[in-house]
Each structure stands twice: as structure tokens, then as C-alpha cells.
Chain A
Amino acid sequence: MKPLPSTSSKTPVKFRMPTSENLVPIRLDIEVGGQRFKDAFTWNISDPDSEVSVFAKRTQKDLKLPLAFATQIAQSIQTQQTEFRSYKGQEMLTGEKIVPIKLDLRVNRTLIKDQFLWDLNNFDSDPEEFSKTFCNDLGIEDPEVGPAVAFAIREQLYEIAIQSVATARESRNAKKGRRGEYSSISRSTGAALDLMKLFSNRYSGVRKRKEWDVFEPMVDMLSNEEVEKWRDLEEA
């Protein structure tokens, strides 16, 4: 695997997605005239802005949606882009931060539930690669699952990155001692674990048996009625 960076101290780092490329997760949920369009994909933030309208038009044409969708899609993408860019230049704290990432999504007929640990400090990490291996190993036939999994991971990483920006700001303003930093971090990112704590119980890296179920991926195929049920649940 790729080597971990040597800096594991709490030095602040410029904001970016903690993955190997700076891809932003974009989620669309647009409703125009009774038609609802939901979508989620990854966007490369370094692409020129002209791509936004081109993409919106293309999507609207391919899916044969009414024209109003194109402008809405473009707008939504642009707002999310600017939001991401507003974080740029700000600092975020990194450190030995292992966070659990949870997957709980339904893609067409496949239901996925999973939980695993992800190292935030590894800026070479790649959700796409992970999702590809995930689908291969679990023999998922639906090709739409892969990108959805990658997107979910990215979204959660994005959330965490935003939070770490907030904590960095907090800690800078508070000007407390080291202890203060620790507490604020652990407060805001509640589920973040420290490596030391994790391995403090045993001298091996093996997980406790009762936690196995939690961390095992579960993939389920739904029948048509269940799909309808889920859809109604989600839209309600």
C-alpha cells in the first residue's frame, strides 16, 4: 500500500479533501414541477466553471428532463462548489485520526450496510479504489453501486474535514494548552478514536469478537415490493 506520511503531529494543514485527489462530493435533489431528481456524484474542483453548465445540459438532455432542470442543476452544483472553495485556505487539524465510516445505502436493488475504519491522516487514500475492491470482493453485479459507495465515503470524509476546520479555528481562538486541544477535538469528532486507545487493550491488532458483526459488510438484494417500500420511505 502507499506509505503513510511521516508527519503525525497535530500541525495544521491547508484544507482539502483527505484523499489523493481533491474531488468534491456533489449531491443533487431538485424538484421542478412535480418531478424530483436526485443524484450524487463526484466533481473535480479544479475543472473550469464552464463545465458546470455543459454537464447540467447534458444530464438534462440524456434523461429527457424538462428544461428548467438544467439551470437548477447548474446552480446547485455551483453553490456546492463555492461552499467547498470557501473552506479553501483555511486550516484544519490532522493527526492520528482514525474514524469509522459507515455505509448505509440503497442503490436500485442492492442494500449495503457496512462500517470500517478510515485513516484521515492518509492523504493518499482513495475511496474509488476502495469501492472498486469492495464491489469485486462482494460480487456486486450492479455497476451503479461502486460509485455510490465511493460517494458515500467521500461525503463523510468531507463532513469530517469541515468539522476539523471548525475545531482548528476553535483551538486557535481558545488559545488553550495542549489539553484543551485534545478535549475540543474529541468532543466535536466524538467517534474519533486514538490509535493508542484502540490498541491499549490487547497487544494485537485483532478486533474483539463481539465487534465483528458490526464491522462486517452486509449486502442484500431487495425484491420489487421492498424497493417500492424503501423508495416511499426515503421520499417521505
Chain B
Amino acid sequence: MASLEPPAAVTPPSSKPNLLPLPSPTIITPSAAALAAVAPTTSSSSPATLSVATPLPTPSDAELVHIPSYSRWFSLDGISECEIRCLPEFFDSRSPSRNPRAYKYIRDSIIKQFRRNPSSKITFTEVRKTLAADVISIRRVFDFLDAWGLINYSPAALSKPLKWEEKDSKTSQHAADSPAGPSSDSTPPVRETTKWLCGSCKSVCSIACFASDKCDLTLCARCFVRGNYRVGLSSSDFRRVEISDEMKTDWTEKETMQLLEAVMHYGDDWKKVAQHVGGRSEKDCITHFIKLPMGEKLAGSAEFGSGINKLNQMKDDNSSNSSSSGKRLCLSPLADASNPIMAQAAFLSALAGTAVAEAAAQAAVTAVSKVGHGEANAHFRSLHGVQGLQNASITSNGSNKLKSSEEARSGVNTMPEEKVNVEEELRTVAMVQMKHIQEKIIHFEEIDSQIDKEWKQMEQMRDILFYDQLNLLKHERSIRKTGQQAAEGTRAG
């Protein structure tokens, strides 16, 4: 069990959840004594020097230790609410060995051990070998610290070579010393500098993140959509941070050309496209294709006419939302957009078909073009079919550049109304479509029932025919018989 006081002192262990930091000398000395280099300096200094961002007091390395922004509450001096929440078994006095003091001892030892060598990952087994406590408690604390990025946060992938691995490979006596210090890695390779962890569901964000500067929270797209953020925040406090796979592996021009060729040839068959491009998965191809600037994408497609260049300009202005891909139903491009309304709208417009969507777009955009707000255009561009947008958005873009400031102001006011209008029109579009489908269904049902009736009639007629045939045969036979009898009768008589 952990003990942080020298044997003579009689400080009662506090097991209340709101733990005030223990007086300074008792915290630092015993655990620091284990690290011989640190003992003399820290025993006299105040706890403030052991705060997070300051470099380690060891003479050899003054490395900065990185921790993620959502773990800023952490400090070595005391126990914060977050820890109490996540590891309640240490604070509810159910088991005598699990109390706040023991927790603090384990936590501080793990962190100190990690910080002695922050460039390499520390494993649970290393930690548990050096701590006098039961291994399950150690594991829980270790997992907690790991999840919150307080240890093993963005260090190099290399870990210390293991004792028995070294023994096999080397023959020299220095094999026994190797676990004490890593020999190989000096500077961690900068492969993943930003590893975003969602604050609520603790998963790694891959596609896009939402970061809130207001209270330093990072959420993955899923949690943001579900509204898994705290009460004080609203969706407007978050800004979108893109973390696309392309950052890791950029698409070369050659690959892009191959992609476009393949799309032209194979259209929607992404399997073949992926094969053609070579070295890219289907998903990669699709995402990259969507993110291509509009002009390139439409270069091969004959439907879209002259406004390509202008669209290209506007597309460059608007980087975040990509436009819908018109007829490609299987590729709902905004399906992964974080805004569920946008996803719905894209899906519906794809379903409705270009003609209907165009009509709706024209109606909506003409209403908007009076105001001519740039951002509204950005939304509509992505919502509706491309054809309708060309004309309207060109004009509105032009007028926007002329009277930007006034319209900006008025645009802000009418923005929500326009949104509502657009939504209503989409709703009517959807309703119409549904009615259409319903009528078709009814029609088919009628045809079905008619066919059934006719089939039954046919069967009846067949039966009648069968009976007629039977009767005929019977008659024939009986007549023949009588005829024979008669013939015999006349011969005999």
C-alpha cells in the first residue's frame, strides 16, 4: 500500500473525494527518492515546479513533455475531478488498499517514470515491475493515463529493447545493462504530430474533427453530430478541422490523371477505378475524387457546359463543402458531412434527379440572388444540381463583389429565412416524389389483381374444357359400344 509520509508522522489518510493537496514535503520526498537524480532538487522546491509544461529538473535533458489540450486539468499536486470520475474505485473507500493516497502514488510514479524518458513509449509491464502495489490498480491507472494522453503521447514508436531479445542477439556483457536505457532512438521521427483523440468517445479522429477553442475540447464528427458536448457549448463554438488521409500520402499528378481516366471509362465501378489507379483503395479513390476541384472533375463530362471556369473560381473560394456529383446516386458525396441536414439534402437532391432539383434550385436561388451573400451561395452550390447554379451563382457572385458590405449585413439577417425556405422546398420535392411513387405502387397493385382474376378465369375455362372432353370421350365410347352391340345383335338375329 502506498505511504507518502515518513514513518514517524501521523497524518491520517483522507478518503474524501475532494482531496486537497497534501503538504508539500510529504508528497515529493519518498517517490522522488526513487529517482536518485531528482531527489536533492525537488525535496526543497515547492510543488509548483512540477507542473506540466516546465522541463524536467534532471540535468541531462530539458525536454518538453507534450500532453493534449484536453488534459490540461492535470497537475501533479493534487487529484482533479476528472480522475475521481474516471477511477471511482479509488475514492469510494470500498477497498482499503484503494484510496486516494495509493492512487496518487501510483499515478505519480508512472508519470515520473515516463517522463524520465518521454521519447519512448512506456509499457504497462515495465511500470508494474517497479511499483509496490497490486497489479490491477496499476493497470487501471496506467490505462487512464494512457487514454488521456498523459503518458505515451506522441512519442516514437520504438520502445526499449527487451532483456531477452538483447540476450539472443548480442554476445557481449552489455546485454544486461540495456533495459536501463534505450540505445537507439534519439529524436522521435515526426510522423504523426497531431493525433486527435475525441474527448467524449475516446476514439482517434480520422476524417474530420471539431475543435472548440472556447473550452479546449476536441470531438470526432460522430460525437459532434450527436451533440455529445457539454451543456455550455453550442454547435457554433466548434470549428471544423480536416484531417484527411491525403495529408499522409499526397496524390501525385500522375495518380490524379489515372483516376480521372478511370472514372471516365468505368463510371461508377470504383473497384475497377481503384485497380486502374493502382496503389489506392476504393475509398481513397472516392474521397479524392470528391475533393478534386470542380473544373477538373467536369472536364470529361459533357453535360456541364461553359460555366466550368467560373465554377472553378467559386469552388476554390469554397474549400470545405464539395458539390454534389449530380447523377451519381451511389456516391452521395456529402454523406460523410458532419451536418446531418446537409447529408439529407444531398441525398434527396440526388434521388430527385437533376430536373426536379434544378427547378427547385432555380426557385430558391433567385430568391437568394437578390441578397447575394457569398456564404449562402456556398451552401446552395452544394445542395442543388450544378446546372441551375451556373447562371444564378455567376450573377449573384458578380453582384456580391459590387456591394459586399451592405449585403453582408442584410444577408446575415435573411440567412435563416432562406434556409427555412430551402428546407420547405426540399420537403415539397420529397413529398411530390413520394406521392408519385405511391401512385405507381397503386397502379401496379391494380394490374396485379387484374392479372390474378384473369388467371382464375383461365383456370376455370380450362376445367370446363377438360370436363367437355371427358364427356365427349364417354359418349363416344358408349355409342361405339351400342353400335357394336347392335351390329352383333343384327348378325346374330
Chain A residues with a Cβ under 8 A of chain B: 1, 20-21, 23, 35, 41-44, 46-47, 51, 54-55, 58-59, 62-64, 109, 126-129, 131-133, 135-136, 139, 141, 143-144, 146-147, 149-150, 224-225, 227-228
Contact = CB atoms under 8 A, between A and B. Distances in A.
B7 A44 contact: no
A127 B3 CA distance: 11
Interface in B20-44: 30, 33-34, 36
Given A20-B1, A21-B97, A44-B137, A59 B125 contact: yes
20 contacts: A20-B1, A21-B1, A21-B134, A41-B128, A41-B129, A41-B135, A44-B97, A58-B125, A109-B176, A126-B1, A128-B132, A129-B3, A131-B132, A132-B30, A132-B132, A133-B7, A135-B33, A143-B34, A146-B132, A149-B132
A139 B35 CA distance: 10
Contacts of A127: 132
Contacts of B354: none
A126 B136 CA distance: 18
B162 A63 contact: yes
Contacts of B123: 62-63
A64 B3 contact: no
Contacts of A149: 132
A55 B2 contact: no
Contact of A42 (B36, B135, B176): B135
Given A35-B164, A133-B7, A58 B132 contact: no
Interface of B: 1-3, 7, 30, 33-34, 36, 95-97, 113, 123-126, 128-137, 139, 162, 164-165, 173-174, 176-177
Contacts of B128: 41, 147
A42 B165 contact: no
Given A44-B136, A63-B162, A228-B176, A132 B3 contact: yes
A23 B97 contact: yes
Contacts of B135: 41-43, 55
A58 B162 CA distance: 15
A167 B165 CA distance: 47
Nearest to B105: A132
B113 to A, nearest CB: 7
Contact of B162 (A20, A43, A51, A64): A64
A228 B123 CA distance: 26
A62 B125 contact: yes
Contacts of A58: 124-125, 139
A116 B28 CA distance: 28
Given A20-B96, A21-B1, A135-B34, A42 B124 contact: no
A224 B124 contact: no
Given A128-B2, A129-B3, A136-B33, A144 B136 contact: no
A128 B2 CA distance: 7
A47 B131 contact: no
B176 A23 contact: no
A30 B174 CA distance: 26
